[in-house]
A and B are shown apart, each in its own frame.
Chain A
Amino acid sequence: SQTIHQWPATLVQPVGSPLSLECTVEGTSNPNLYWYRQAAGRGLQLLFYSVGIGQISSEVPQNLSASRPQDRQFILSSKKLLLSDSGFYLCAWSVRGATNEKLFFGSGTQLSVL
């Protein structure tokens, strides 16, 4: 069966510090991968999605970046965090190329930038 791992679960970082959140998927190949952010009082916002290694689409201009060094690994990074980067970050995957497949989420990372 497929599983998605996301870590860390919680993170407290000072403004200006770097960030690296990692997500890995097991039990499937060639997945679509996504990073979403959920800020307090706001909806789920798509940040990045990837349909293959090295293929990253950015949905929102910001100081965050994403990379996909391996087929089932998706990394969210920042060189210098801002206060506005605080939020709940969720990684997700779906079957590539399918027209009616569910989206599966990781357990999330609660990031607090102080």
Chain B
Amino acid sequence: KQEVTQIPAALSVPEGENLVLNCSFTDSAIYNLQWFRQDPGKGLTSLLLIQSSQREQTSGRLNASLDKSSGRSTLYIAASQPGDSATYLCAVPVSGNTPLVFGKGTRLSVIA
């Protein structure tokens, strides 16, 4: 059974700091890994999708890496801003591409 763990559960950083969020999964036979952002009381927004054949994906100040063999992924946020404050979740497929199993998320607070 696929299980996803995210560390830390919560993180508070000053504005401008670079930070890393961690995600680990138990079954490495995945097709892809996705990182999502969730604002309080809102739905999830997909940030990055890394295919199993890829090592990393970048979008603006976000960079996600994937080490499939060790069952780990990281989300790197450069030059953090207060607008980055949200909960970040990673998710991997149960089998093949869908459906997704989610971690509990990391709640990020960027202090101005």
| Chain A interface extent, by class | 20 to 34
Report the bound CA distance from A105 to B49 in whole Å: 15
Contacts of A7 in B (CB 8 A): none
- A104/B98 in contact, CB under 8 A: no
Within 8 A of B (CB), among A92-110: 92, 94, 98-108, 110
Contact among B32, B98, B103 with A49 in the assembled complex (CB-CB below 8 Å) = B98
Task: Digitize B77-101: 1 where CB-to-A-CB distance is under 8 Å, 0 elsewhere.
Answer: 0000000000001010000111111
Which residue among A94, A100, A104, A110 has the maximum number of chain B CB atoms within 10 Å of its CB?
A: A100
Report the bound CA distance from A92 to B46 in whole Å: 11
The answer to the question of B51 belonging to the interface, with a C-beta cut-off of 8 Å to chain A, is yes
The answer to the question of B70 belonging to the interface, with a C-beta cut-off of 8 Å to chain A, is no
- B100/A101 in contact, CB under 8 A: no
Nearest CB of chain B from residue A66's CB, rounded to whole Å: 13
Nearest CB of chain B from residue A92's CB, rounded to whole Å: 8
The answer to the question of B72 belonging to the interface, with a C-beta cut-off of 8 Å to chain A, is no
Contacts of A59 in B (CB 8 A): 99
The answer to the question of A46 belonging to the interface, with a C-beta cut-off of 8 Å to chain B, is yes
A-contacting residues of B (Cβ < 8 Å)?
Answer: 4, 31-32, 34, 36, 41-46, 49, 51, 89, 91, 96-105
Q: Return 16 A-B CB contacts under 8 Å, by A number.
A: A32-B98, A32-B99, A36-B102, A43-B104, A43-B105, A44-B44, A59-B99, A92-B44, A94-B98, A98-B97, A99-B31, A101-B49, A101-B97, A104-B46, A105-B43, A108-B42
B-contacting residues of A (Cβ < 8 Å)?
Answer: 6, 32, 34, 36, 42-44, 46, 49, 59, 88, 90, 92, 94, 98-108, 110
